[in-house]
Amino acid sequence: MNRRFAAAALAAAALVSATVAGAIEPDRSQWPVGVGLPAVEADGTRTFSIDPGDEVRFLPGVARPGDVIVCEGKGVVTVGPRGTEVADPAGVTMSNDREGRAVVTCEADAA
């Protein structure tokens, strides 16, 4: 009976762990390749980080107006309303089409 109890206890612990992890872990599927999990600010805006040389495409509504995108060592852009473009003279550009798809380009470092 001790083995059954131990097995049941381990199964219950695994179920609880999976449930908690699922509640805490954000849905990674919405973040484009090349973008890690964003830092979330107190006001709900998010800060994404990309690398020089990257062009990142966000699905509609993923990068929201007010979110910040940092190109490491280059510059920063703030996502604007749908249908706008934003550029940082250091080499970061962001365009947000009318459907909410955002494309962010970070110029490569000079070789």
Cα 36 from Cα 70, distance rounded (Å): 12
Whether this prediction's pTM lies above 0.75 is answered by no
Q: Would you kindly state where each structural domain of the chain is located, as residue ranges?
A: 31-106
Tell me what percent of the residues of the chain surpass a pLDDT of 70.
Answer: 71
Average pLDDT in the chain: 80
| Confidence band of 61 (pLDDT split at 50, 70, 90) | confident
Token readout for 40 is: 């979330």
In this model, does residue 110 exceed pLDDT 50? yes
| Average pLDDT of span 13-26 | 50
